[in-house]
Each structure stands twice: as C-alpha cells, then as structure tokens.
C-alpha cells in the first residue's frame, strides 16, 4: 500500500532544525524524513483488531511539528520507527478479526488513537487506564505492540496517511450518517478541545481569553459554547478568516495577535480590563486580566502573554502542544497564584454530574455543530501532493486555511521526478526525533 512514512535520519533531522531557525517560514520539506512509499499492509495483532481504510485524514499540529523538526524530543522514547503519521481520521472498516464485536465491515468510523493497556493486551490495566484515561497510559512502551502513545507514532499500527491502518476495536467509534466526512474528520481534535473546555468552568459574566484561532482555537470556542459556557469570549486571532470563523462559533470580542508588544498589550489591557505597568527591563507587568485563559498556540510568546493577562487567582489552560518554550517568566504564575492546567487528548469527563466518554460527547455535539465545523476543512489534497498539503498547513494566514486534510479514497498516485525525490534516500541514520 501507499503511505507517508517517517524514518529516523540524523542528517535530515539536523538540517531541518538548522534551516528551520534560519528560514522558519520556508522550511525545506524535501529534507524531511517523511516520504511517500510502498509498504506492506500492517497485520492485525490479535483477533480483536480491525482494519480501516481512511477516507479523510487531517494534518494535526503535532504532525507538523514532527515533519518540520519544530517540537521537543521529549516523546521520542515512546515512539517506534518507521511510523506512518496521521491520527485524525474518518474511514471505513474493511476487515475485522474474529473476536471483534464493536464494529462490522463497512461501518464508517473515527479513531480514538490512544494506545493504552487494553489495546496493548495488558491486564490488569495501569491506574490511568483503569479510570478511563488511556491517553495517560503508563505502559505505552509495553505489551503486544511496539512503543507509541498514539496511532500514527507506532510502527505496528500504521497511520491515517495511508491506504490502510489497523486499530483495536475499542479505538473505533461508529459515525452517524447525519455527520458528513468533513465534519467527522474533526471529531478527534474536537474531542481534544472539549477535554480542554471541561478542565475549568467559567462562570456567566466572567471573561475567557482564547489565544490562537487555528483549528484547536476555533474548536475550543465551539467546545466552550457546546458545554454551556456563557462567559464573554475574548479571542486573539491573527487573520481575517480566523475572526470570521470565530465569530460564527461564538466569540464575542477580538484582540490583535500581532504587532509590537507595546501596541498589543495596550489593546489587550483595554479589552480585558487590565492595567499595564512598564518595567525597567523586559516585558510589562500586567495587573488584572481574564478569569480564564486558553492558550491554543503553545509558543513561548503565547504562554508568556497568557500568564501575564490572566488575573490573580485565575486559571491558565495549556491546550496547544508547547514544544520547548523559552523566555516564559514564571513570576506571574507565582505572584498571581494562577492554577495551570494541561489539556492533552481526552478520556472520561464529568458533565452535569455524570461521567461521559469525550469521544461520545464529541460525536453527539457534532450532530448539530457539524455543518458549521465542516466549513473549517479546506479542499482535500491527494496523498501524492503531501508537500503542498504540509506547506499549506504551515502557512494558514497566507492561504486562508484552517484544517488541511488528505483525501485517501480514490487517490491516484503519481511518481515524482523532481530533485527532492532523487535524494530522498540520502542520510538515513538513526536519531531520536520529536513528535
């Protein structure tokens, strides 16, 4: 089958790192350890596994960080290479093991990508999996499959950027016919956003600051409104198309996310009812601000700005994958006694006094939100045009895009004859890389 395979390569990884610093807006994607290859279909590890043919597969921020070597190497020990990227997916079940009961051949499904104890055949499960938090599994490098926190980072499962991957039946959720593919492919990132939104409970009349209006930021706006949040949502967005989407999903006011620090801080302070005090050195001190802040970017600047503009005693929720931020002044966290929350993946949520699976909650809400959220998905790319797809996802402001996806069903693959393809096998040496 055809698949986008990520391999270990010390030379390519190092060059991506260096050139990413020199030319952050124009990273040479042909140097990435990612390539389109013909590989064997992954096998079903046990009779409780199924095979899925992806229809649409979304490019996640973590995929981009891996491809461009922008992220942290923190998670490298719990991956296994070579792996096929992709975990945001809607597809069709094409094969089932003899013991599979949850899905049938022909079912349209989405994937819960966490590779926890049940998936790995480990019994008894770890304490996290026992309470339904398999995304926090303690055994991600053990069991009957290779290391990997998620499908897309494990060499034995395959991934969504391919014609076929395998999943344990517990990872697959049937999608109602009323939810179109373009909405269904957003169920996994929407579940992430719901998990973040449920980490805190803003009160009516409070102000919530949302930094970033990429796909996760926009889905966080939708998630907050979906769980009944009636707080004032102040949204920091860079581009006009992001503001249009944010307003349609429930944002109330907008903040400029670019420009000089002085100008940005003045605008934010006025909107958030904060006071900016000039410092002798470094960035200003901020008194007051939002009751709750969701950082959906995860850069050094967004984290530092976010904690400064969260009021004393407030909550700061890190939703965006942070990589290795530097220059974040923790004094604001200490002085204001902020509560910092991390929002990674999904699990079991407490909603109106009842426990609910995040994916079930996402699917239920997608029945009504689907038409709006489907508009976030751009025109699909064939897998063969993966460089163009990644470049588009990396330049969302210029391209006016939000969520970039691959169309897998009916793909026509073509052999590239450009210079990049001729050198794609150069420098294949082992090195741990980031996710």
Q: What's the pLDDT tens digit per position in 93-127?
A: 999 999 999 999 999 999 999 999 999 999 999 99
188-202: per-residue pLDDT in tens?
A: 999 999 999 999 999
Structure token pair of residue 267: 């605008």
pLDDT beyond 50 at 419: no
pLDDT beyond 60 at 418: no
CA nearest 393: which of 66, 165, 143, 129?
66
What is the greatest pairwise CA distance in the chain? 70
pLDDT beyond 60 at 416: no
Q: What is the pLDDT of residue 19?
A: 67
Distances (CA, A) of 11 to 15, 63, 322, 342, 432: 6, 20, 25, 33, 12
Minimum mean pLDDT among 53-62, 210-219, 411-420: which range?
411-420
Q: Which sequence spans correspond to the domains of the chain?
A: 2-113+150-186+376-422, 199-342
Structure token pair of residue 317: 């929720």
167-177: per-residue pLDDT in tens?
A: 999 999 999 99
Buried b (16+ CB within 10 A) or exposed e, 41-72: ebebbeebbbbbbbbbbbbbbbbbbbbbbbbe
pLDDT beyond 50 at 413: no
CB 15 within 8 A of CB 420: no
Q: What stretch of H or E contains 216?
A: helix 215-226
Quote the mean pLDDT of the chain: 90
Is this model's pTM higher than 0.85 or not?
yes
Cβ-based neighbours of 157, under 8 Å, separated by 6 or more: 42, 115, 145, 148, 151, 165, 166, 167
Cβ-based neighbours of 420, under 8 Å, separated by 6 or more: 30, 387
Structure token pair of residue 1: 């089958």
% of the chain at pLDDT higher than 70: 89
CB 343 within 8 A of CB 319: yes
Report how many helices (DSSP H) and strands (DSSP E) the chain contains, helices first. Answer: 15, 20
pLDDT beyond 60 at 425: no
- To the question of domain 199-342 being in CATH 3.40.50.2300, the answer is no
CB 151 within 8 A of CB 165: yes
326-373: per-residue pLDDT in tens?
A: 889 999 999 999 999 999 999 999 998 899 999 999 999 999 999 999
Structure token pair of residue 163: 């014609």
Identify which has the larger pLDDT, 69 or 45.
45
Q: What are the backbone dihedrals phi and psi of residue 97, each rounded to the nearest 5 degrees, phi first? A: -70, 160
For the domain covering 2-113+150-186+376-422, report its CATH number. Answer: 3.90.180.10
pLDDT beyond 90 at 142: yes
Buried b (16+ CB within 10 A) or exposed e, 322-349: bbeeeebeeebbeebebebeebebbbeb
Task: Report the C-alpha gap between 435 and 433 in whole angstroms.
Answer: 7
């Amino acid at each position: 089958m055809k698949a986008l395979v990520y391999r270990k390569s010390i030379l390519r990884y190092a060059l991506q790192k260096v050139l990413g610093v020199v030319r952050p807006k124009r990273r040479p994607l042909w140097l990435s350890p990612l390539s389109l290859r013909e590989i064997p279909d992954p096998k079903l590890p046990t009779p409780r596994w199924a095979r899925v043919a992806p229809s649409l597969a979304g490019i996640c921020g973590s995929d981009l960080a891996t491809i461009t070597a922008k992220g942290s190497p923190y998670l490298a020990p719990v991956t296994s290479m070579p792996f096929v990227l992709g975990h945001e997916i809607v597809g069709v079940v094409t094969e089932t093991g003899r013991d599979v009961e949850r899905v049938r051949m022909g079912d349209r499904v989405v994937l819960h990508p966490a590779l926890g104890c049940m998936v790995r055949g480990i019994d008894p499960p770890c304490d996290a999996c026992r309470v339904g938090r398999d995304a926090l599994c303690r055994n991600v490098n053990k069991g009957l499959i290779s290391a990997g926190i998620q499908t897309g980072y494990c060499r034995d499962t395959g991934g969504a950027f391919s014609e076929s991957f395998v999943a344990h039946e517990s990872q697959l959720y049937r999608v109602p016919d009323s939810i179109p593919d373009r909405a269904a492919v957003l169920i996994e990132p929407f579940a992430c956003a719901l998990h973040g939104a449920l980490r805190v409970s803003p009160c009516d009349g409070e102000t919530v600051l949302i930094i970033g209006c990429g796909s996760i930021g926009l889905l966080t706006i939708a998630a907050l409104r979906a769980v009944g949040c009636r707080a004032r949502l102040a949204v920091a967005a860079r581009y006009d198309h992001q503001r249009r989407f944010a307003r349609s999903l429930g944002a109330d006011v907008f903040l400029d996310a670019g420009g000089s620090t002085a100008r940005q801080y003045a605008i934010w302070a006025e909107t958030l009812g904060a006071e900016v005090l000039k410092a002798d050195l470094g960035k200003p001190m901020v008194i007051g601000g939002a009751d709750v802040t969701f950082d959906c970017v995860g850069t050094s600047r967004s984290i530092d700005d976010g904690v400064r503009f969260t009021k004393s005693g407030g909550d700061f929720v890190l939703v965006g994958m942070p990589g290795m931020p530097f220059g974040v002044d923790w004094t604001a966290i200490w002085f204001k006694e902020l509560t910092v929350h991390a929002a990674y993946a999904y699990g079991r949520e407490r909603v109106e006094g009842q426990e609910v699976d995040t994916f079930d909650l996402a699917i239920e809400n997608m029945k009504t939100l689907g038409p709006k959220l489907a508009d976030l998905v751009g025109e699909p790319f064939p897998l063969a045009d993966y460089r163009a797809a990644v470049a588009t996802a990396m330049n969302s402001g210029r391209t006016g895009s939000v969520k970039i996806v691959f169309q897998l069903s009916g793909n026509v693959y073509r052999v590239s004859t450009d210079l990049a393809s001729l050198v794609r096998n150069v420098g294949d040496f082992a090195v741990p890389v980031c996710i």
